[in-house]
Amino acid sequence: MSDSSDSKKKRPGRKRATSHASAAKAVSIEPAGIEPPPKVLPYSDIDVSRWRDYEHVETGSLWMFNGRDRQNGHQLDYHGNCVPQILTQLLTRYTKQGEISLDLFLGSGTSAIEAVNLGRKAIGVELKPEMAAYVREKLEEQDKAEHVAIINGDSSNADWTGRAIKRALKGFEKDHADFLFLHPPYADIIRFSDSENDLSNAATTEGFLDMFENVCQLGFDMLAPGRFAGLVIGDKYAAGELIPLGFLCMERMNQVGFKTKSIIVKNISGNEKAKGRMSNLWRYRALVGGFYIFKHEYVFLFQKPKRSKR
Ligand SMILES: C[S@@+](CC[C@H](N)C(=O)[O-])C[C@H]1O[C@@H](n2cnc3c(N)ncnc32)[C@H](O)[C@@H]1O
């Protein structure tokens, strides 16, 4: 009968079910001491044929870091800087040695320092001239400056900053960055400067999101197709209401063409400077106000499609 003979035909790409006994037999005929050939992904140096060796690399969506990494040039020298472990994880999974990480909110340079620690290169854009100068100096002292290009500019200004990034990429003999990192102000929670171009000075949440979307567009255009972007952000409360900044920013990333790959929840231990009396006060306020105190922020992970118009 034709239907049964058709169903017996070997279908391409489909493996026949193997019993446990035959699977065990297949393993036993592997010559002892011969390792499987390396299997490396196009965007990472992780050899997935040895996946058991990468226990230090996160694959779960809950990141619990025990304080802040303060080694290899990292320090808590800027109110609002992120823990370096986020970059260790993201750069290890989504870049190769020698590749370029682009950060459009450089701050105190955490992403650039970690990029160089891991044998990558970095381009960072920061609005505050004194901060850009401070990071340059810090990188010089750490002997890392030759691997990093720092641009003092406004990341929501695609024309000027886009041209500056293109020049920096050319200096590294590249057309596009290999990874994009975004750690914007969490709206007005910390005011970083008096500049009207500073995202933390946007008058409304909508205004902040519009400025952020301009930065997303610049990041999208500068990133190589198929490559990844990480966004670190937390939510905020205003007038007794939770403003879900994280999800609102995710939507703006999607708006410019990024596909969301993962939403990671990360503890914020290691971010706080003052503990003790302040945390007791917040506990009291939370109990009275009927809300919960933020103990987490997000690391959103996106991919730029391999085929995109821009
Ligand atoms: C949350 S901090 C980034 C901290 C950084 N990840 C670190 O570890 O130090 C945000 C930074 O974005 C900068 N910023 C705000 N608006 C900007 C803009 N339009 N263009 C470039 N940088 C901007 C602020 O000055 C601040 O340093």
Going from the Cα of 1 to the center of ligand 1, the distance in angstroms, rounded, reads 70
pLDDT at 13: 37
Spacing, Cα 104 to ligand 1 middle (Å): 7
User: Whose Cα sits closest to atom 13 in ligand 1?
Assistant: 105
Confirm whether 73 is domain-assigned: no
Residue 307 CB partners (closer than 8 Å, separation 6+)? 225
pLDDT exceeds cutoff 80 at 163: yes
Quick one: pLDDT at residue 98?
98
Number of domains forming the structure of the chain:
1
**Atom number in ligand 1 closest to CA 181:** 6
Is the whole-model pTM more than 0.85?
Answer: yes
Percent of the chain clearing pLDDT 70 (strictly above)? 86
Give the pLDDT score at 181: 99
Most confident of 8-17, 73-82, 171-180, 279-288: 171-180
- Model confidence band, residue 276 (pLDDT cutoffs 50, 70, 90): low
What does the pLDDT look like over 32-70, one tens digit per residue?
677 788 999 999 999 999 999 999 999 999 999 998 999
Judge whether residue 14 has pLDDT over 70: no
Domain that holds residue 54: 37-67+80-303
Residue with CA closest to ligand 1 atom 8:
81
Whether 136 maps to a domain, the answer reads yes
DSSP string, the chain: -HHHHHHHSPPTT-PPP--HHHHHHHHHTSPTTPPPPP-B-TT---BGGGGGG-TTS--SSEE---S----TT----STTPPPHHHHHHHHHHH--TT-EEEESS-TT-HHHHHHHHTT-EEEEEES-HHHHHHHHHHHHHTT-GGGEEEEES-TT-HHHHHHHHHHHHHHTT-SSEEEEEE----TTSS---S-TTSGGG-SSHHHHHHHHHHHHHHHHHHEEEEEEEEEEE--EEETTEEE-HHHHHHHHHHHTTPEEEEEEEEE-TTT-S--THHHHHHHHHHHHHT-----EEEEEEEE--SS---
The least confident of 27-36, 121-130, 274-283 is: 27-36
| Residue 28 maps to a domain | no
Mean model confidence pLDDT for the chain: 89
Q: What is the pLDDT of residue 3?
A: 40
pLDDT over threshold 80, residue 115 = yes
pLDDT at 272: 52
**Predicted pLDDT of residue 31:** 58
Residue 32 domain-assigned (yes or no):
no
Contact 294, 283 (CB under 8 A): no
Residue 197 Cβ contacting ligand 1 at under 6 Å: yes
Q: Is 75 in the pocket of ligand 1 (CB under 6 A)?
A: no
Q: Is residue 211 part of a domain?
A: yes
Residue 110 located in a structural domain: yes
Instruction: Tell me, using a 6 A CB cutoff, whether residue 234 lines ligand 1.
Output: no
When pLDDT is cut at 50, 70 and 90, the band that residue 289 belongs to is very high
Is position 22 within any domain? no
List the CATH number of the domain containing 105.
3.40.50.150
Please write the tens of the pLDDT for every residue from 117-142: 999 999 999 999 999 999 999 999 99
Identify whether 27 is part of a domain: no
